[in-house]
Amino acid sequence: MKIVVLDGFTENPGDISWGPVEELGEVVVYDRTSFEETDLIAERIGGAEIAVTNKTPISAATIDRCPNLRAIAVLATGYNVVDVAHAKERGIVVQNVPVYGTDNVSQFAVGLLMEVCSHIGHHSDSVHAGDWAKNPDWCYWNYPMIEVSGKTAGIIGLGRIGYNTAKILGAMNVRVIAYDINRSDRGREVAEYVELDELFRQSDFIFLHCPLFPDVERIIRRENIEKMKDGVILVNNSRGGLVDEADLAHALMSGKVAAAALDVVSTEPIREDNPLLGAKNCIITPHISWATKEARERIMQTTAENIRSVIEGHPIHTV
C-alpha cells in the first residue's frame, strides 16, 4: 500500500511521529505541495492508493490523473479542499477527522476574549521593554480593563465547540445566549436559544463557532453589525469566510466594534492587503486554535485508523 502525504508539516513539524501511518504501508511525506500546481499535486500522488492532505486541494482534474487512488484522507475536520462529488463518482473514499480538538478550540476562543479584556501579552511586553521599571507609580495599564463576569456572550453555532465554550463562559459568571438552527436539550443546559437579531442586540461578546455554509457566509457584515451593541467584542476562531473583513475593519475603526480577536481570515496565509491588518484593536493569530501537540497526535491516530479501515474494506469517517 503506497501512501502519499502532500502537506505534512503543519500536522507534524517534527515533534510527533508518522509511525501510526508508516505501519500501514510505504509512506512518502512532503512537507508542502504548492496549491496552485495541479500537475505537481497529481505527480506527487502518482500511483499511490492513499492520498493524505491537510489543505492541499485535490480537484477533479487531479483525481482523474491518479488511477490507483482508493482513498483521500484529510488531516482535519473540514474537507472542502477535496472535490468530494467527483471522488464519489470515481469510487474513491474521502475521510476526515471529525473530532480531535474541541477542548483546544474552546480554550483558545476564551483565551482570545481574555487577551482583549486584559491585554496580558501587551503588558508583559511593556514590562520587558522597561516601562514598569521607569514608572512613577506602583502599577499602570495602557488599555481599559474589562471584567467579563456579568456580561452576555452570544454564540453563533452551539455544536461541540460552541457547547464547550458556553460551559467555560458559564463558569466565569457570563450569561450565554446562542443561535443555532438545530436546537437541543443539551444546548439548553448551557445557553438560552434566541433568534439571530436578538443575539446581535443583547451580546457584549459574540463568538463564531459554526461551519462555513452559504447561509452564514459573511454573517458578520455591515447590516448585522449595525444591529449589535456599541462596543461589542467579536471572537472568531471558526472560519474566516464568516466575516466581511472590510465591514469589520470599518466597524473597528469607528468604534462600533470595540475589538476583534481572530484566529482565521478569509484567505490563508493572510494577504498583505487584508483590511484587518490596518484596523485598530484587532488581534489576529495564524489559525492555531487546533494545533496543540495533543490534538495533532489525535489527528495522526485517527488518520491511521481511517487508512487501516480502507485497507480492511470497511471505511470509517467517510464524508
Domain-wise residue ranges, the chain: 2-100+293-311, 102-284
Options 147, 195, 268, 294, the catalytic residue: 268
CATH number of 2-100+293-311: 3.40.50.720
In this prediction, residue 127 carries a pLDDT of 98
Task: Give dist(CA 79, CA 75) in Å, integer.
Answer: 9
The CB-side HSE value for 302 (13 A sphere, CA atoms) comes to 22
Q: Which of 207, 209, 231 is nearest to 146 (CA)?
A: 231
Does the active-site annotation cover 239? yes
Task: Give dist(CA 126, CA 53) in Å, integer.
Answer: 41
Asked whether 285 and 262 are in contact (CB, 8 A), the reply is yes
Helix axes 160-171, 102-118, angle to 10 degrees: 40
Task: Give dist(CA 142, CA 164) in Å, integer.
Answer: 32
Which set of grid coordinates corresponds to residue 183? 436546537
This model's pTM is above 0.85: yes
CATH number of 102-284: 3.40.50.720
236 band by pLDDT with thresholds 50, 70 and 90:
very high
91 class by beta-carbon count within 10 Å (0-12 exposed, 13-18 middle, 19+ buried): exposed
Same CATH topology for 2-100+293-311 and 102-284: the answer is: yes
Does the active-site annotation cover 123? no
Go through the chain and tell me how many residues it has.
Answer: 319
Task: Give dist(CA 14, CA 162) in Å, integer.
Answer: 31
End-to-end Cα spacing for the chain: 22
What pLDDT digit, counting tens, does each position of 38-94 carry? Answer: 899 999 999 999 999 999 999 999 999 999 999 999 999 989 899 999 999 999 999
Does the active-site annotation cover 86? no
Options 44, 119, 287, 317, the catalytic residue: 287
Q: Is the pLDDT of residue 18 over 90?
A: yes
Q: Is the pLDDT of residue 35 over 90?
A: no
* Average pLDDT along the chain: 97
